[in-house]
């Protein structure tokens, strides 16, 4: 079972995304901020990392840059999932090593499909 780390300071969003991914057949690790995410990443390496942009302290874009600097996660796919849809946020995310960028709110099928694509898994039958 593929493991996905989800980092979002909004407990509701974190729970909802976790449920979507769990139902999609993934094991979900959760963190509410960059420090908690880095603590988890110090112990294990997930197959995919999903980051929110707007978080207190270190935001998701900066965290993505830190993730890319770590040997263990330098090549781990990173999906930015954010309500920010301005070009600056998207470009900055990609410049800091994001693999892809999706807008919130997101539907269950779209999230699971994107995760499966990023992990090179076959699509789930409808």
Q: Which H or E element spans position 66? A: helix 60-69
- Does 122 have pLDDT greater than 90? no
Residue 124 in domain: no
Query: Is 58 among the domain residues?
Result: yes
Element (H, E) at 42: helix 34-43
Q: Could you list the residue range(s) of the whole structural domain that residue 112 is in?
A: 3-116
The answer to the question of residue 121 being in a domain is no
Residue 67 belongs to a domain with what CATH number?
A: 3.40.50.2300
Residue 122 lies in a domain: no
CB 17 within 8 A of CB 111: yes
Is a pLDDT exceeding 90 seen at residue 123? no
Domain presence at residue 31: yes
Q: Is residue 60 part of a domain?
A: yes
Task: Give me the number of domains the chain comprises.
Answer: 1
Written as six digits, the tokens of 96 are 């800091």
Q: How far apart are CA 52 and CA 70, in angstroms?
A: 19
Report the mean per-residue pLDDT for the chain: 95
Closest listed residue to residue 92, CA positions, set 51, 117, 60: 60
In-domain check, residue 13: yes
> pLDDT, tens digit, for every residue of 46-87?
999 999 999 999 999 999 999 999 999 999 999 999 999 899
Lowest mean pLDDT among 3-7, 28-32, 35-39, 84-88: 84-88
pTM: 0.95
In a domain, 92, yes or no: yes
């Amino acid at each position: 079972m593929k493991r996905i780390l989800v980092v979002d300071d909004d407990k509701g969003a974190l729970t909802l995304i976790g449920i979507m991914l769990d139902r999609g057949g993934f094991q979900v690790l959760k963190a509410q901020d960059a420090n908690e995410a880095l603590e988890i990443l110090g112990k294990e390496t997930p197959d995919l990392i999903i980051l929110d942009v707007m978080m207190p302290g270190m935001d998701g874009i900066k965290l993505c840059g830190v993730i890319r600097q770590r040997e263990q996660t330098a090549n781990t796919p990173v999906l930015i999932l954010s309500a920010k849809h301005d070009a600056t946020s998207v470009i900055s995310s990609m410049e800091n090593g994001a693999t892809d960028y999706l807008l919130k709110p997101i539907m269950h099928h779209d999230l699971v499909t994107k995760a499966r694509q990023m992990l090179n898994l076959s699509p789930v039958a409808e």
